[in-house]
Copies of this chain bind each other. A is one copy, B any other.
Amino acid sequence: MGGNAPVIVQSMLNTSTKDVKASLAQIEALKAAGCEIVRVAIPSTSALTGFAAICEASPLPVVADIHFDHKLAIEAVRLGAAKLRINPGNIGDSAKVDEVIDTALQAKIPIRIGVNAGSLDKEFAEREDLGHTEKLVASAKQFVQHFESRGFTDIVLSAKAHDVRTTVDAYRMLADELPHIPLHIGITEAGTAFQGTVKSAAGLGALLLDGIGDTLRVSLTADPVEEVRVAWELLQAVGLRRRSPELISCPTCGRCQVDLINIATQVENRLQEYRTPIAVAVMGCVVNGPGEAKDADVGVACGKAKGAIFSKGQILKTVDEDQIITELFKEIDKLGK
């Protein structure tokens, strides 16, 4: 993690750790969607029940997310957590935080320091000389310095807000001021699938385009599998990683003479099964395709109830509308699956 390593996709279970079977099933579903790290909340001692079994059987590293109670953090390490996520500001006095740090140091596992705009350490929340973003950054920096002063350097840092601009500004400052610390990026409490996708893509997209972010979580009030789907779509959008082929498809307009939305949606769905790093174009008319999609490996430019199948800008054949998808996938399949 960090440096030139790929940006890692993370999500969080919404099952109870007490239900090991359901938790492991959700981890499998998340993994199948492309999740690479899972986080679980440990809100109480009873939530530790099952945690060891989950860590042991999980095919993905399991991060324990702990608030308020340092003893839960220490116990989670003992039970096999691959990483801790704490907000040192709500763990209590410094001695308790230090106990957690030392336990993780001994166990050789990383800690994510998760600062959050909504629950800032009092010392910073009340400072009138600092703006909202500066408070977040100052608090994060102080925690990092404290961890490092104890010899703990296996740190990941996050400083989330539900406001996109605050979050982007804070991470840009952190990347600038703490270039050696890997950053976990996210917009917190971003909302439901629709609003949360837009907020996360806007804020995290801006950061990723700047080269900021080592792990990311798209926070949605939705099935965690959706979070992973959006995260991958975003990494693909900014050109950092690719999981399935790229789809280039026109918006519809008055020039279009086929059922483009239907064709593009079908192509998109089928492409989810492919792992080839190719670009596939579905263009609605001759103004846009094949010309505008000449860098696509395979594509179709639709005309009146017809489609011209093309490859790298060269038309291979023209087929009837009802044959477009079949013929397009014949060409896609030639490039592997």
Q: Does A315 contact B (CB under 8 A)?
A: no
Please give, as numbers and ranges, the residues of chain B lying within 8 Å of A282 by CB-CB distance.
221
Kindly state the separation between the CA atoms of A189 and B295 in the bound complex, as whole angstroms.
Answer: 13
Please give, as numbers and ranges, the residues of chain B lying within 8 Å of A283 by CB-CB distance.
189
Given the known A-B contacts A198-B234, A221-B261, A222-B261, are A12 and B251 also in contact in the complex, defined by CB atoms under 8 Å? yes
Given the known A-B contacts A205-B203, A224-B252, are A189 and B268 also in contact in the complex, defined by CB atoms under 8 Å? no
Shortest CB distance A197–B (Å)? 6
Please give, as numbers and ranges, the residues of chain B lying within 8 Å of A68 by CB-CB distance.
287
Contact A237 B199 (CB under 8 A): yes
Given the known A-B contacts A189-B248, A189-B250, A254-B47, are A209 and B168 also in contact in the complex, defined by CB atoms under 8 Å? yes
Q: Does A220 contact B (CB under 8 A)?
A: yes
**Copies assembled:** 2
Given the known A-B contacts A203-B237, A206-B206, A233-B198, are A249 and B12 also in contact in the complex, defined by CB atoms under 8 Å? no
Please give, as numbers and ranges, the residues of chain B lying within 8 Å of A278 by CB-CB distance.
none
Kindly state the separation between the CA atoms of A293 and B221 in the bound complex, as whole angstroms.
Answer: 15
Please give, as numbers and ranges, the residues of chain B lying within 8 Å of A209 by CB-CB distance.
164-165, 168, 202, 206
Contact of A254 among B13, B203, B233, B285 (CB under 8 A): B13
Closest 7 CB pairs of A and B: A202-B205, A118-B292, A201-B201, A14-B252, A206-B206, A219-B251, A41-B254
10 additional A-B pairs beyond A12-B251, A199-B233, beta carbons within 8 Å, are A13-B253, A40-B253, A40-B254, A164-B237, A189-B288, A191-B248, A192-B261, A202-B209, A205-B205, A221-B261
Where the two chains meet, the residues of A that have a C-beta atom closer than 8 Å to any C-beta of B are 12-17, 39-43, 47, 65, 67-68, 116-119, 162-165, 168, 188-192, 194-199, 201-206, 208-209, 219-224, 227, 230, 233-234, 237-239, 247-256, 260-261, 264-265, 268, 281-283, 285, 287-288, 291-295
